[in-house]
Amino acid sequence: MNSYQYHVRHFIDGEYVDGVEGKTFETLNPATNQPIGVVAEGTAADIDRAVKAARTAFDEGPWPRMKAEERARILRRIADGIERRQQQIAEREVADTGVPISQISKGAIPRAAYNFDYFAEMTHRVTGESYPVEGEFINYTVRRPVGVAGLITPWNVPFMLETWKIAPCLAFGNTCVLKPAEWSPLSADVLGRIVQEADLPPGVFNIVHGFGETAGAPLVAHPGVQMISFTGETTTGMEIIRNGAATLKRYSMELGGKSPTIVFEDADMERAMDGALWQLYSLNGERCTAGSRLLLHRSIHDDFVGRLAERVEAIRVGDPTDPRTELGPLIHPDHWQRVTGYVDLAPQEGAAVLVGGRRPEALPGGNYLEPTLITNVRNEMRIAQEEIFGPVMVVIPFEHEAEALRIANAVKYGLAAYVWTRDNARGHRMAHAIESGMVWLNSHNVRDLRMPFGGSKYSGIGREGDHYSFELYTEVKTVHVAIGDHRIPKIGLG
């Protein structure tokens, strides 16, 4: 009989509840692969219960009818609750995901609180358009909440990504059911307590835990749900769109990536090196916007790779609860297999594993992997085309700007890109021509929440953030008002 540290239940209609069918599953600590929590395993019956609660809260409850300022006050209280419980959330997240504590507590959790503060402000910024027509009409638009949202999230930085969806969804007066990823259910669980303490009306926010096929899929297919905001793998996104067709869902899709970091010969090499390293090896390399293809100008290639290799070797791999750790264990043994599968593929494709690629000798348990640097890579190789989602960087040389651009774009994804050059004109030229939703010039991924977030090509559909979130979470209604006696054609007069 296992004694678990964490007992996670669904959160439905303002209360923590067991699953209808009483099923459970275990969650593992990636540093040991020991079970640390037992989690309610949701099925279609739980989803139905949660959607009904969200539906009632939307159709009959106060939330969509509240004044914006009242909703904003509750959202700010949720932000405060996250700040008060920062340590508890961070501990759970590290235990669940293996991402180093320094990166969770300094980055992901403060950002989660900020998501609520930010969208509290946005409740006041829902605008409309108005067009007067020659003294006859005033036509205008209003934005109304849509209804019930299904929010489906992945396991990398789960708490930040969950709140990134919940905050705008609630800000505009919708209600929702969150289905967190099955490999990382622990931190979301704290949100139930936080929303209770913030006096969010029951049913406005619900959580059903469980697996994609048995809990996520019924949420997507449920006729009581109008929209799905999904973050996860591209193939899952495709499946969700297929499954939501019969109930005509609207979607936001934040999907996978294989983003280039491009370093030109005139770049500030020190900063480019820092940026390239952080952008791939932080968050254990499990980040959608990872700069996972490093494109280096031929003239700097050997020198850059030499110094990069020294830095990669020096990355501190270890216990994610240790504040000095820079790279923790991968989330799950299955994911470790997948990532190391790509490392094994590299020599078969003709590439060279220059650094890492194996389990560190000092860390025999858990899902640890040495930070890995692969050279002699051609962009056509699978290791350069497919999302590895781990601490594995592939390096590709280029001769000139046009070739850098061609390589950057010759991939099915289009999420992010990072360009390092001191030539401003070239930087902007590249930024405009690269096929991706976001480009950072001379910077790693520093988010500005006023800017839209999302990807092009196979990396996603739609943008979220600031007023871009209105597109998903509000319904635009057009109102035509006659203010004069415009001509009405007469029929039926014989």
Catalytic residues: 254, 288
The binding track of 434-463 with respect to ligand NAD, each residue x by CB under 6 A or -, is ---------------------x---xx---
Nearer to ligand NAD, 429 or 447 (CB): 447
Quote the least distance from Cβ 11 to ligand NAD, whole Å.
Answer: 16
Nearer to ligand NAD, 123 or 261 (CB): 261
Nearer to ligand NAD, 48 or 322 (CB): 48
Quote the least distance from Cβ 208 to ligand NAD, whole Å.
Answer: 11
By CB under 6 A, which span of 21-29, 170-178, 197-205, 253-261 interacts with ligand NAD? 253-261
How many residues touch ligand NAD (CB under 6 A)?
A: 32
Selected from 239, 326, 370, 466, the binder of ligand NAD by CB under 6 A is: 239
Selected from 143, 179, 297, 301, the binder of ligand NAD by CB under 6 A is: 179
Residues in 147-166 at the binding interface with ligand NAD, rule: CB under 6 A? 152-156, 161
By CB under 6 A, which span of 26-34, 44-52, 227-235, 394-402 interacts with ligand NAD? 227-235
Quote the least distance from Cβ 419 to ligand NAD, whole Å.
Answer: 19
Nearer to ligand NAD, 208 or 263 (CB): 208
Q: Are 438 and 289 in contact (CB under 8 A)?
A: yes
Selected from 415, 417, 419, 439, the binder of ligand NAD by CB under 6 A is: 415
By CB under 6 A, which span of 194-202, 228-236, 274-282, 373-381 interacts with ligand NAD? 228-236
Quote the least distance from Cβ 216 to ligand NAD, whole Å.
Answer: 2
Strands 130-133 and 137-145: antiparallel
Residues in 362-401 at the binding interface with ligand NAD, rule: CB under 6 A? 387, 389
Q: Are 9 and 16 in contact (CB under 8 A)?
A: yes
Query: Does the footprint of ligand NAD cover residue 254 (CB under 6 A)?
Result: yes
Using CA atoms, how far apart are residues 211 and 480, in angstroms rounded to an integer? 46
Using CA atoms, how far apart are residues 412 and 414, in angstroms rounded to an integer? 7
Selected from 94, 220, 227, 296, the binder of ligand NAD by CB under 6 A is: 220
One-letter-per-residue 3-state SS of the chain: CCCCCEEECEEECCEEECCCCCCEEEEEECCCCEEEEEEECCCHHHHHHHHHHHHHHHHCCCHHHCCHHHHHHHHHHHHHHHHHCHHHHHHHHHHHHCCCHHHHHHHHHHHHHHHHHHHHHHHHHCCCCEEEECCCEEEEEEEEECCEEEEECCCCCHHHHHHHHHHHHHHCCCEEEEECCCCCCHHHHHHHHHHHHCCCCCCCEEECCCCHHHHHHHHHHCCCCCEEEEECCHHHHHHHHHHHHHHCCEEEEECCCCCEEEECCCCCHHHHHHHHHHHHHHHHHCCCCCCCEEEEEHHHHHHHHHHHHHHHHCCCECCCCCCCCCECCCCCHHHHHHHHHHHHHHHHHCCEEEECCCCCCCCCCCCCCCCEEEECCCCCCHHHHCCCCCCEEEEEEECCHHHHHHHHHCCCEECEEEEECCCHHHHHHHHHHCCCCEEEECCCCCCCCCCCECCEECCEECCECHHHHHHHHEEEEEEEEECCCCCCCCCCCC
Using CA atoms, how far apart are residues 456 and 415, in angstroms rounded to an integer? 6
Nearer to ligand NAD, 256 or 291 (CB): 256
Nearer to ligand NAD, 143 or 222 (CB): 222
Residues in 190-219 at the binding interface with ligand NAD, rule: CB under 6 A? 211-213, 216-217
Selected from 19, 173, 232, 366, the binder of ligand NAD by CB under 6 A is: 232
Nearer to ligand NAD, 93 or 387 (CB): 387
Query: Does the footprint of ligand NAD cover residue 465 (CB under 6 A)?
Result: no
Nearer to ligand NAD, 103 or 236 (CB): 236
Selected from 256, 320, 391, 427, the binder of ligand NAD by CB under 6 A is: 256
Q: List, in sequence order, the alpha helices (H) in 67-107.
A: 68-84, 86-97, 101-103
Selected from 233, 265, 266, 471, the binder of ligand NAD by CB under 6 A is: 233
Nearer to ligand NAD, 117 or 162 (CB): 162
Query: Does the footprint of ligand NAD cover residue 93 (CB under 6 A)?
Result: no
Instruction: State the residues that interact with ligand NAD by CB under 6 A.
Output: 152-156, 161, 179, 181-182, 211-213, 216-217, 220, 231-233, 236, 239-240, 254-257, 288, 387, 389, 415, 455, 459-460
